[in-house]
Chains A and B, each alone.
Chain A
Amino acid sequence: MADLVLKNIQKSYGNHPVIHGLDLHIKSGEFVTLLGPSGCGKTTLLRMIAGLEKIDSGELWIGGKPMQGLPAQKRPIGMVFQSYALFPHMNVKNNITFGLKIQKMEEHAIFSKLDWVIPLLGLEGLENRLPKEISGGQRQRVALARALVLDPEVLLLDEPLSNLDAALRELAMDELKRIHQEVGKTIIYVSHNQAEAMTMSQRIAVLNKGHLEQYAEPMRLYDEPASRFTAEFIGSPIANSYVGKLGTHDGLPVVQTAVGIIRISDRCMGHVSSAPKEIRVCIRPQDIHQLKNQVLTPYCSVFRVLPSLIETPGDRCLVIGKTNSGEAVRFFVDRVHTVVVGEPLDVFVSAEHVHLFNSENGKNILGEQI
């Protein structure tokens, strides 16, 4: 078992704190993504796990063994760097076998490793090329092969796809998922691309300014964001966000916003009286639908918007409209639906898609003690 446990990890550069008391438990064989905006400390965290950066305080355990004081070369990890860091003076084969030769593995064993990893990553025919003689995607696969042959308990990947074009990236994502299924390693993957993280990972750790915002399955992050940051960072385009006040309407829990009175989940009932006066309301554009002749449940709220801009990026149209009060509302409609700029229409949202956050600390009110 190679569970990876981080306990209250802290790190500062000089007197500039970068990671603030972070706890994380990654299960053996799990594919976890560290997701967060640029500069939030993802690389720093990965380098601390690898032993390339000192941990100021806290504990790091891999497979039940403490890692404190263990240099990088003794840790059961493999790492793929953002820049790949292939050795420029060694051909592909020597890059891959570098670590094996350090371990003084016997030559026939090295050959069988090569025979396994080269087809696995589609590197046939490139064995004798230098890194500068292969493409970016091929380099990435060599970097991965180089880490895989060492059979580490934990594989650390620092934005390995960020240098690839969109098509190659999709391919590489599929490949990475396939390799994870095939070799079953614990993988910690760093990304600032939420779509990439959502497709690949079993769990995602959302980081913001060195704090762990939420650690959960992708769908859970999407459906139940624990903080306003997660709600806005996960999903694209950015969620609609309004100021609101909790209250009741006909005995049912609602939030009053400039958009109108919006019905909220019954689970919020307990918060209605105790909640702070001001609240932040987030609704994803994907969760607002055009009202045609659907039968609405009592949990749906309807409001009228005036479309002011329509973008057609692909199979759906993004409509940007305004309510009577001038608040902007972004939502999607099918391409076949004819929405015309300047012609008002009704849209609705269902209560379970209305996310409510404490205005002061940004936390989801459902997670807070009443």
Chain B
Amino acid sequence: MSDIWPLIPAAIYLLFFFMLVMIALVTLSVTEGDLFPTFEPLQAILKNTEFYDALINTLIFVIIGTPLELIAGLFAALLVYNSFWGKTFIRSVFVIPFAFPGLVIATLLFILFDSQGGFANHLLQGQYSFFPKVIDHDVAWRGNKFLALSVSMLGKVWRDMPISMLIILSGLNSIEPELIDAAKTMGAGFRARLTKIILPLVFPAMTTVLLLRSVEMWKEFIFPYILAGNYPLLGTLIEKLYGFGSEPGEAAVVALILVGLTVLTLILIVEITGRIKRELVNSGVNS
């Protein structure tokens, strides 16, 4: 017990600010003008179709974006891990997206995927010799819910992939090289080594990636804000309600729901990955 005393100041600091924000948020969510306490903001949100839209959009964002980041990170990490030469160089190249603020990347994508002209449209219209002509007319990248959300999700995944990659890479690097050698001497080819040794051993790192990235996906703001202005996610909806709509109470309700969903997702991931891990340890002949 005495070991935790040095941690107390940090704990108080964290708890204090967390509590402060949460209390303010809860208070705000039951305030409507001069009325306090009231469920009016909650009722308004539950009647708001835009909220349900945003909820579904965000859910799709989380369900597709989180595994996508895991897979992108895993592939990049495996590429760096298995590369014979220039390991440091390849790793640096992969880390570049993370060197820019999300706002910059989002703005870049905004320019590339402009609905009138823009690089993406020009490319698909066959204006560059290295790419075949695919479409005749400009695509309205931001005028279509599917395209707008896809572009913002890809932007998000591309920008944040380095974090996933670095986490998985450190997991890969902590695997004893002799384990791989042992697998080789026992007849395991590349595929067997990957699926039976490497992936199970980086599983904890992959779990970390899923946990961190799912939180990021739930609370994503900047990419959809810039690239999918007409199709809100929960993150952008909060801003919209608070700033543009002048409904701080409703914004607070959405924020609380977002917190709740995030926590729920984390619990779910811990539960599922725990089960998979037990499966991995016990799989095999009759055990």
Q: Is the CB of A93 within 8 A of B284?
A: yes
Inter-chain contacts of B282 with A (CB < 8 A): 91
B-contact 0/1 string along A68-110, CB 8 Å cutoff: 0001111101110101011111110110011101110001001
Within 8 Å of chain B (Cβ to Cβ): is A365? Answer: no
The answer for the CA separation of A156 and B187 in the assembled complex, in Å, is 15
Q: Which residue of B185, B203, B281 contacts A52 across the interface (Cβ within 8 Å)?
A: B185
Is there contact, CB below 8 Å, between A72 and B284?
Answer: no
Which of A47, A93, A99, A111 interacts with B186 by CB under 8 Å?
A99
**Which residues on A sit within 8 Å (CB–CB) of B108?**
none
Majority-rule SS of B interface residues: helix
How far, in Å, is A311 (CB) from chain B's closest CB? Answer: 40
Query: Known contacts A91-B287, A94-B287: does B197 contact A79 (CB below 8 Å)?
Result: no
- Verify B189–A98 contact, CB threshold 8 A: no
B284 touches A94 (CB 8 A): yes
A-contact bits for B120-140, CB 8 A (1 contact / 0 none): 000000000000000000000
Q: Which residues of A contact B203 (CB under 8 A)?
A: 89
Nearest CB in chain A: distance from B23 CB, A = 44
A150 sits at the interface (CB 8 A) = yes
Contacts of A306 in B (CB 8 A): none
Quick one: given A52-B181, A81-B181, A89-B201, are A150 and B285 in contact (CB under 8 Å)?
Answer: no
Q: Is the CB of B178 within 8 A of A89?
A: no
B187, A73: Cβ atoms closer than 8 Å:
yes
Count residues of chain A with CB under 8 A from any CB of chain B.
40
- A47-67 vs B: 1/0 string, CB under 8 Å? 100111000000000000000
Chain A nearest CB from B111 CB (Å) reads 47
Q: A74–B187 Cα gap in the complex (Å)?
A: 6
- How many angstroms between the C-alpha atoms of A99 and B176 in the bound complex? 18
> What does the 1/0 interface line of A114-139 toward B look like (CB < 8 Å)?
10000000000001101000000000
**Shortest CB–CB separation between residue A147 and chain B, in angstroms?**
8
Contacts of B226 in A (CB 8 A): none
Once the chains bind, are B188 and A73 in contact (CB under 8 Å)? yes
A-B residue pairs in contact (CB < 8 Å), sample of 10? A52-B184, A71-B184, A74-B187, A85-B178, A90-B284, A98-B183, A107-B286, A111-B285, A127-B287, A147-B185
Task: State the 8 A-B residue pairs at the shortest beta-carbon distance, nearest first.
Answer: A99-B186, A72-B184, A85-B182, A94-B284, A85-B178, A79-B185, A102-B187, A89-B200
